[in-house]
Amino acid sequence: MNAPERPEHLEPAMSFPSFEPWRWNLPSHFNIGVACTDAHLGTAVADKLAMIVEDDELGVSTATYQDLAEATSRFAQLLRNLGVRTEDRVLIRLPNSLAYPTAFLGTMKRGAIAVPTSTLLTAEEVLYLARDSGATVLVTDKTMWAGLRDRLKGLDSLKYVLLAEGGVPPFEKGGPGGIYRAEMNGNGRNASQAALAKGSLTVISLESALAAIDTWEAPHPTRSHDPAYLVYTSGTTGYPKGVLHAHRAMLGREPAARYWFDFNAEDDRIVHSGKFNWTYVLGSGLMDPLYRGKTVIVHEGKNDAEGWIRLIAKHSATIFIGVPTIYRQILQKTAFTGADVPTLRHCMSAGEHLSDEMLGLWRERFGVDIYEAVGMSEVSYYLSENIYRPIRPGSAGFPQPGHDVRLLDPETLKEVAAGEEGMICLPADDPGLFMRYWNLPEETGKVFRERWFLTGDYARFDEDGYIWFLGRKDDIINSFGYRVSPHEIERVMKTHPAVADCAATGEELAADKVLVVAYVMLHSGADVSADELAAFGREHLAGYKAPKIVYLAPDFPRTKNGKIIRKQLRPEIAVGRSA
């Protein structure tokens, strides 16, 4: 498919190098797990380090591409032995570890659907995702399992829990497999080690089960358009919304790899500051680098500003990827400069806007630019700055070639005039687009109209072709790189018996610093403090969703129809607040 010509009113007024026409080459069959592992076997990349995990407690673990290919094939075979069918869901709740790509990519090699979830979620949030996805298998580690084992009730679909103990590959010949092999039955289960939890739920040691597998079948021959992975994002109903992607999503990310990354023929080594469960990291910190045979370095443990620079220096990393909060912390809390990381040549940011001030300070201290991108769970990153054209602070850069971005009037689906605000829309056949919302056909129907996918985000083009991202016209809160639905916070806070009504919003403390806060109205006669309500939020919501401040208010600003006007929520209306 050729990249379509841009309408005349969007032709740049300045002279920039033109992007090459983009052609999509989608094979009939494609598998993300194979493309990131087995595809490198028999090449010079096979013995190269694919991943380095620096864990504060467990130390350093590494895996080559050969190791990952074997581990993911063993995992796929384990799923087959357990009776997991194609398109069954495998819920993954793991820290950054070698077990993560083993499970994520191995699930797709089986032809099943991987469901990555955040380690920050509470047990009840995990329970909802397990129930909504209909997961057959849960992959987690022993630490997280302790908080889940007594909560997974009433899940008819969930049959197996695979417990990791700090990493999977590589497998030593004559190692753990020899110890456990005699104890494995034909289903791939460790009969003497496995513990039966509630009902028919079987708990299995992941390491021992994989080590006991000697041979495996070929990966499932998935088609490009077959389901691959299911991610959950903040939903407007107060519940997370499943976003189902096909294997072609990996190919749909190729423009980002070329026009946001700066991959080259050298041995790039990438440090990513995020967690694999986030779609930002699943793509830019896992699938993209592994697809191209690069080395990924990730960290598990305390977020430490000095630690990121030391990690870059220790592993001679060439690319660093983070969110604005991480860049700000490095600048504010350390004295490091470019001299401390001489190999670093390319930096990337997404999740929220990077302020002009932070960009300038980073350039001054480290001598390299930070290239921003804009994306969403439904299509990953499709707008970005790039090395081919100057960064214009505040702008999101350009649509990546291959993604035919148009700014349309959402009512008429007609393209808006130059300089005007319009909704960002992409053709419905863009290979990077998701397939559908999980179990939500009406929601899917709302965003696919005629031949377009309507993102819900608004932007405008300037006279030079730069796109200026304006964001959504809904109430999603962007806080420290996370997109948080106020409806989800409100739904949970309203379950407290003292709460009559609740409105969540973002409170901007400074540039690039937005806190999630909640305004609460109490039932008449209720005796509860704002601090108690804040503690309730922390107990029932993931840390990044829980309100950092709870305000007690007698009423909220409302429209004539009684709808809360979030933009008018201010601390001044409160009669009390949490500490």
Q: How far is CA 392 from CA 59, 481, 487, in A?
A: 41, 21, 34
Paired sense of beta strands 89-93 and 59-64, if any: unpaired
Q: How far is CA 380 from CA 119, 345, 359, in A?
A: 21, 24, 23
Of the candidates 27, 20, 29, the residue with the CA atom closest to the CA atom of residue 2: 20
Mean pLDDT of 229-250: 89
pLDDT for 559 equals: 67
Could you read off the pLDDT of 271-325 as tens digits, one per residue?
999 999 888 899 999 999 999 999 999 999 998 999 999 999 999 999 999 988 8
pLDDT for 177 equals: 31
Gap between the Cα atoms of 505 and 537, Å rounded? 14
pLDDT for 560 equals: 59
Gap between the Cα atoms of 112 and 220, Å rounded? 9
Model-level pTM?
0.82
Three-point CA angle 41, 43, 44, nearest 5°: 125
Sole residue written with tokens 């983070």: 322
Q: How far is CA 501 from CA 237, 454, 522, 552, 555, in A?
A: 16, 32, 7, 10, 9
Q: Work out the mean pLDDT of the chain and round it to a whole number.
A: 87
Helix spans in 460-559 (H)? 486-493, 530-540
pLDDT for 423 equals: 95
Burial class for 182, CB neighbours closer than 10 Å (0-12, 13-18, 19+)? exposed
pLDDT for 73 equals: 98
As given in the structure block, the two tokens for residue 60 are 């350093």
Residue environment code for 305-330, b if the CB has 16+ CB neighbours within 10 A, otherwise e: bebbbebbbebebbbbbbbbbbbbbb
Cα of 474 vs its chain's centroid, Å: 21
Paired sense of beta strands 160-164 and 137-141, if any: parallel
As given in the structure block, the two tokens for residue 176 are 């753990």
pLDDT for 278 equals: 85
Could you read off the pLDDT of 368-407 as tens digits, one per residue?
999 999 999 999 899 999 999 999 987 899 999 999 999 9
Gap between the Cα atoms of 22 and 350, Å rounded? 24
Tell me the DSSP string of 273-310. -S-TTSHHHHIIIIIHHHHTT-EEEEEES---HHHHHH
Could you read off the pLDDT of 33-60 as tens digits, one per residue?
999 999 999 999 999 999 999 999 999 9
Paired sense of beta strands 202-205 and 160-164, if any: parallel
Could you read off the pLDDT of 175-224 as tens digits, one per residue?
333 222 222 333 444 432 343 333 478 999 999 999 999 999 999 999 99
Q: Please write down the long-range contacts of 200-204, taking CB distance under 8 Å and 24 or more positions apart.
A: 200/159, 201/152, 201/158, 201/159, 201/160, 201/161, 202/159, 202/160, 202/161, 203/145, 203/160, 203/161, 203/163, 204/160, 204/161, 204/162, 204/163
Q: Which residues contact 267 (CB under 8 A, 6 or more apart)?
A: 48, 294, 295
Sole residue written with tokens 């010509």: 5
Could you read off the pLDDT of 531-560 as tens digits, one per residue?
999 999 999 999 999 999 999 999 898 765
- DSSP H/E element including 577: strand 576-577
| Best mean pLDDT range from 126-130, 168-172, 433-437, 574-578 | 433-437
pLDDT for 562 equals: 63
Tell me the DSSP string of 337-378. -GGG-TT--EEEE-SSPPPHHHHHHHHHHHS--EEEEEEETT
Q: How many CB atoms lie within 10 A of CB 52?
A: 21
Q: How many CB atoms lie within 10 A of CB 11?
A: 12
Q: How far is CA 451 from CA 266, 378, 414, in A?
A: 40, 16, 12
Q: Which residues contact 404 (CB under 8 A, 6 or more apart)?
A: 3, 4, 426, 427, 430
Gap between the Cα atoms of 91 and 483, Å rounded? 21
Residue pair 133/114 in contact (Cβ under 8 Å)? The answer is no
Of the candidates 251, 255, 257, 260, the residue with the CA atom closest to the CA atom of residue 388: 260
Residue pair 535/524 in contact (Cβ under 8 Å)? The answer is no
Q: How many CB atoms lie within 10 A of CB 540?
A: 18
Least confident window among 379-383, 416-420, 517-521: 416-420
pLDDT for 5 equals: 34
Half-sphere exposure of 365 (CA within 13 A, CB side): 19
Three-point CA angle 246, 247, 252, nearest 5°: 90
Q: How far is CA 522 from CA 375, 470, 500, in A?
A: 38, 35, 5
The residue ranking higher by pLDDT, 365 or 264, is 365
Of the candidates 473, 486, 555, 491, the residue with the CA atom closest to the CA atom of residue 514: 486
Could you read off the pLDDT of 68-91 as tens digits, one per residue?
999 999 999 999 999 999 999 999
Mean pLDDT of 108-112: 98
Gap between the Cα atoms of 406 and 427, Å rounded? 9
Q: Which residues contact 456 (CB under 8 A, 6 or more apart)?
A: 423, 447, 472, 473, 474
pLDDT for 173 equals: 42
Mean pLDDT of 86-115: 97
List residues bridging with 437 in a β-sheet: 243
pLDDT for 15 equals: 54
